[in-house]
A and B are shown apart, each in its own frame.
Chain A
Amino acid sequence: MRRSAAALLGVAGGMLAGAAFIRRRGIRSERVDLYYEDGSMVSLSNGSPDAERLLPLAREILRRSR
Chain B
Amino acid sequence: MDAQQALADLTEISSQIQAAVVFDDQGKVAGSTLDDAGRTAELARAAADLLALADGVAAGNGPLSQLEVATLEGSVFVVREGKTRIAATTAPEPTVGLVFYDLKSALRQISSKPERKAPARKAAPKNTAAAKKTTTPKKKAAPRKKKSDAS
- Among A36, A37, A50, A65, chain B packs the most CB atoms within 10 A around the CB of A65
Could you tell me the distance between the alpha carbons of A31 and B96 in the complex, rounded to whole angstroms? Answer: 13
Q: Is A58 an interface residue (CB 8 A)?
A: yes
Q: Which residue of A lies closest to B47 (CB)?
A: A61
Interface size on B, residues (CB 8 A): 35
Cβ of B129 within 8 Å of any chain A Cβ, yes or no, is: no
Contact A32 to B54, CB < 8 A, known contacts A42-B61, A64-B43: yes
- A41 to B, closest residue via Cβ: B61
A: contact size bracket:
20 to 34
Q: Judge if B25 is at the interface, Cβ distance under 8 Å.
A: no
Q: Give, as a whole number of angstroms, the nearest-CB distance from B20 to chain A.
A: 9
A29 within 8 A of B: yes
- Mark B17-39 against chain A: 1 for CB-CB distance below 8 A, else 0: 01100000000000000100001
Describe B's contact surface by its main secondary structure: mixed
CB distance from B75 to the nearest CB of A (A): 8
Q: Which A positions have Cβ atoms within 8 angstroms of B? A: 26, 29-38, 40, 42, 44, 50, 53-55, 57-66
Q: Once bound together, how far apart are the Cα atoms of A36 and B51, in whole Å?
A: 12
Contact A32 B67 (CB under 8 A): yes
Closest-by-CB residue of B relative to A31 is B70
Verify A54–B72 contact, CB threshold 8 A: no
Contacting residues of chain B (28-74) with chain A, CB-CB under 8 angstroms: 34, 39, 42-43, 46-47, 49-50, 53-54, 57-58, 61-74
**Smallest CB gap from A59: residue in B:** B71
List 29 A-B pairs, Cβ < 8 Å. Answer: A26-B72, A30-B71, A30-B72, A31-B69, A32-B57, A32-B69, A32-B70, A37-B62, A44-B57, A53-B53, A54-B54, A57-B46, A57-B49, A57-B53, A57-B69, A58-B69, A58-B75, A58-B76, A59-B71, A61-B43, A61-B46, A61-B47, A61-B89, A62-B71, A64-B43, A65-B18, A65-B39, A66-B18, A66-B89
